Homo-oligomer: A and B are copies of this chain.
Amino acid sequence: MNSAEQLIERVLSGETRAIARAITTIENHGDAAAELMRAVFPQTGNALIVGITGAPGAGKSSLVDKLAFYYRHAGKRIGIICVDPSSPFSGGAILGDRIRMATLGLDKNVFIRSMATRGNLGGLSRATVDAVAVLDAAGCDIVIVETVGVGQDEVEIVKTADVSVVVLVPGMGDDIQAIKAGIMEIGDVFVINKADREGVLRTQKELDALLSLAHRPDMWQPPIVKTIATENKGIEDLAAAIESYSDFQKNAETASSRRQAIAKWRLLELLQERLLNDLLDKNGTGERIEQLSAEIATKMKDPYSAVEELVAAGAAKN
């Protein structure tokens, strides 16, 4: 048994350190990641994947922590992936997961991991989806994917979950309008967190009005759950709402087309990353890209002609 097979074996038996190593392998992509994922993939499909998104400051982290505690008390194994569009200058990691490890992470049935982008060319969504698959194969009953941002990548990541939860706070009048276009339609369950704050009724009314305008292909009426995560209130209701959508979508006529759309998105993401890496791996391409970047920066060359040249050179090397 080679070391890759050993790693896979240990991941499938749920060993925490092996899981951590596997996710690092995924983040670094390349052949090792592909081999790992080929072995992991057939073992997936047992976990319930819950995506949680919402504006910064909505209290998503507290909510995720309390939800994780709830599931733990019900005897479940939990995985948490926190997706963070990291510092673009330093590419540095965040402190969040270390702080949270202090409360939840001592429990060997809870696996927590932050994922951030590395360098300029994302691959974050692909890496996140693969990390979720690893946790699924490793025997987690519930995998929670929490996104820090509310941009395009985050929307796409949350779309791949079985159940998507959108978190709002009272008094977000403007915000509801602002985030409407982006994340309103992906919510299978809505949470109004910090529900002891002023304006909760108004937020609920606005949300009701917006939801009544939405046309979901599966005809689901997303429930609105009120929580005060810091006081552990409403968490049971949230778990029940998540379960009710999970049950619903298993039987929905649209379930298979949704799964196929997710599979296609994932396939195209992976394909795109692979095609670029194949080209970059060719002799001299990396160097030529640096030269071309300098020429583009000084306007000696336009980017489209540069791409033309790189593609032609890549084809010649086949």
A184 to B, closest residue via Cβ = B87
Stretch at the interface among A105-113, A235-243, A268-276: A268-276
A263 on the interface (CB 8 Å rule)? yes
Shortest CB-to-CB span from A274 to chain B, Å, is 5
A280 to chain B, nearest CB (A): 9
A99 to chain B, nearest CB (A): 10
- A232 contacts the other chain (CB 8 A): no
With an 8 A cutoff between CB atoms, is A264 at the interface? yes
Across the two chains, which residue of chain B brings its CB closest to A186?
Answer: B88
CB < 8 Å neighbour of A297 from B84, B175, B259: B259
Q: Across the interface, do B149 and A150 meet the contact criterion of CB distance under 8 Å?
A: yes
Residues of chain B within 8 A of A101, CB atoms compared: none
**Nearest-neighbor residue (CB-CB) of A314 within chain B:** B275
Chain A: number of interface residues, binned into ranges: 35 or more
Question: Do B304 and A290 touch across chains, with their CB atoms under 8 A apart?
Answer: no
Q: Please measure, in the bound complex, the distance between the C-alpha atom of A147 and the C-alpha atom of B178, giving whole angstroms.
A: 11
Contact present for B307 and A182 (CB under 8 Å): no
Name which residue of chain B comes closest to A304, CB basis: B34
Q: Are B89 and A44 in contact (CB under 8 A)?
A: no
- Tell me the minimal C-beta distance from A121 to chain B in angstroms: 6
- Asked if residues A268 and B297 are in contact (CB atoms below 8 Å), the reply is no
CA distance in complex: A171, B25 (Å): 40
Residues of B within 8 A of A305 (CB): 38
A186 surroundings in chain B (CB, below 8 A): 88-89
Contact call A272/B263, Cβ cutoff below 8 A: no
Given A267-B296, A275-B272, A302-B41, does the pair A85, B155 have CB atoms closer than 8 Å?
yes
Within 8 A of B (CB), among A23-59: 34, 37-38, 41-42, 44-45, 55-57, 59
A279→B215 CA distance, assembly (Å): 34
Task: Assess whether B150 is in contact with A124, with CB atoms less than 8 Å apart.
Answer: no
B267 touches A293 (CB 8 A): yes
Is A272's CB under 8 angstroms from B276's CB?
Answer: yes
A209 lies within 8 A of chain B by Cβ: no
Contact across chains for B56 and A303 when beta carbons are under 8 A apart: no
Considering only CB atoms, which chain B residue lies closest to A93 in the complex?
Answer: B181
Is the CB of A281 closer than 8 A to any CB of chain B? no
Q: Is A266 close to B, CB under 8 A?
A: yes
- A37 and B156 contact, Cβ closer than 8 Å, known pairs A264-B289, A293-B267, A296-B267: no
Q: Are A41 and B263 in contact (CB under 8 A)?
A: no
Q: Are B304 and A86 in contact (CB under 8 A)?
A: no
Q: Is the CB of A185 within 8 A of B275?
A: no
Q: Offer 25 A-B interface pairs, CB within 8 angstroms, sorted by A.
A: A37-B304, A38-B304, A42-B299, A44-B299, A56-B150, A56-B174, A57-B175, A57-B178, A85-B155, A87-B185, A96-B181, A117-B152, A120-B265, A122-B152, A152-B152, A264-B293, A270-B304, A270-B307, A271-B307, A271-B310, A272-B275, A272-B276, A274-B311, A275-B275, A278-B311
4 smallest A-B Cβ distances: which pairs?
A: A151-B151, A149-B151, A57-B175, A41-B302
